[in-house]
Structure 1
Amino acid sequence: MKARTETKEKIVELGTDLMKSIGYPSLSYHQISCKLGIKNAAVHYHFPSKESLGLEILTDAIISFEEVIFNVSGLGSWEKLDLFFKNYRRHLESNNKICLIGASASDYQELPESMQTAATEYLVLVKGWFVELLDKGRKEGNFHFKGEPENKAAVIVSALAGGLQQARLIGNAHFDGIVNQLKEDLKP
């Protein structure tokens, strides 16, 4: 991937923030240019289309998560799980944003096909990591749960994404309760 300029990096960061807070359909180049104090043409220079920006945002999320997987590879099952939960909770501490999985799922019908594909790839990556974590953790005696790791991973990812959305309505304690219950359900 080609190195980004500082302006392009700021556009992606703000675009990500907007996708998590207002959703892809509401994201506009005008919002980005106003918040960054640049002209619309500057945004179009880096991203000729809104789709190209959205695809870059999702691609970044995939790359970032792959880096997280690598960086936590030496940790134990519970440490990995706790770090993931803490990272997810940061969305709440940032004006109750939702994750890109939840944002993409909510806006799926309005996403261009390339973004639908990238959003699906991102979800498959995150869920796949959870499947491996749960399977290994159960084999090592660190986790206990009934059923298949694939199904438990689906429950966890769905609970986290949905919990962030619901926390917007009824408060952050709701999300914390979900995380606490997920942990309880995994205790040996």
Structure 2
Amino acid sequence: MKARTDTKEKIVELATDLILAGGYPSLSYQQISSKLGIKNAAIHYHYPSKEDLGVEVVRKEIERFDDFMAAVSGFGQWEKLEAFMLNYRKYLENENRICMIGACASDYREIPEQIQSTAAEYFQIVKNWFTDLLESGRSEKAFYFRGEAANKASLISSAMAGGLQHARLIGNAHYDAVITQIKLELQE
């Protein structure tokens, strides 16, 4: 049973890497089977369709974000923000990948409806957490900004996701500049 679990986890891990690097449309069972040295049938055993695999990949990302939220729950507001931004920065350090939300959004018209809805659910979880962070940070006078916290969360998350994509073209310093500016705009 452990071997099946390990294989299943490896399939999801590799599928995640492939989606973050090249998008869902370019994902194939052949890529996965070749890299893992298994037969396509082994992938189909765990994930009968590419859509099933794609949904599982996004669900695993949701689990990782749940783990992240739990890990930073005792942090101060700025520490949570730093951890969140560092969590996104890791994509640049891994062959200029983009985040799962960005990957799903950029391929939106090419991904099945179930993956679209799971990705939208993931985005809403992240946005709600970030909105709460900004609102509680503002009430504690750790963050300063005008307007609604939800709108600021939308602006910042869009800047971060866009910064990752732009960094692919012009280098990681671009993303770092976006982050520096975001932090400046949250200070008094």
Q: Give the TM-score of the pair, scaled to structure 2.
A: 0.97
* 1:100-115 matches, cutoff 5 A: 100-115=100-115
**Corresponding residue of 2:173:** 173
**Corresponding residue of 1:160:** 160
Write the deviation string for residues 9-65 of structure 1: whole angstroms up to 9, x where unpaired: 000000000110000000000000011111111111111100000000011111211
**Corresponding residue of 1:48:** 48
Write the deviation string for residues 111-168 of structure 1: whole angstroms up to 9, x where unpaired: 1111110000000010111100000000000000111101100011101111111000
Please say which of residues 69-78 and 171-180 is displaced more in the overlay.
69-78
**Corresponding residue of 2:13:** 13
**Corresponding residue of 1:79:** 79
**Corresponding residue of 2:123:** 123
Alignment pair present for 1:59 and 2:59:
yes
1:186 positional shift: 0.4
1:67 positional shift: 1.7
Q: Which amino acid aligns with 1:153?
A: A
1:6 positional shift: 0.3
**Corresponding residue of 1:151:** 151
> How far apart in 1 are the matches of 2:179 and 2:102?
16
1:87 positional shift: 1.1
> How far apart in 1 are the matches of 2:125 and 2:66?
8
1:70 positional shift: 1.6
Q: Which amino acid aligns with 2:124?
A: V
**Corresponding residue of 2:138:** 138
1:69 positional shift: 1.0
Structure 2 residues not aligned, in runs of 5+: none
Runs of 4 or more, structure 1, over 6 Å off, are none
> How far apart in 2 are the matches of 1:83 and 1:141?
19
Q: CA RMSD in A?
A: 1.1
* 1:89-100 matches, cutoff 5 A: 89-100=89-100
> How far apart in 1 are the matches of 2:9 and 2:70?
23
> How far apart in 2 are the matches of 1:106 and 1:171?
19
> How far apart in 2 are the matches of 1:173 and 1:68?
25
Identity fraction in percent: 59
> How far apart in 2 are the matches of 1:160 and 1:8?
31
> How far apart in 2 are the matches of 1:5 and 1:39?
16
> How far apart in 2 are the matches of 1:13 and 1:178?
29
Q: Which amino acid aligns with 1:30?
A: Q
Q: Give the TM-score of the pair, scaled to structure 1.
A: 0.97
Equivalent residue pairs, number: 186
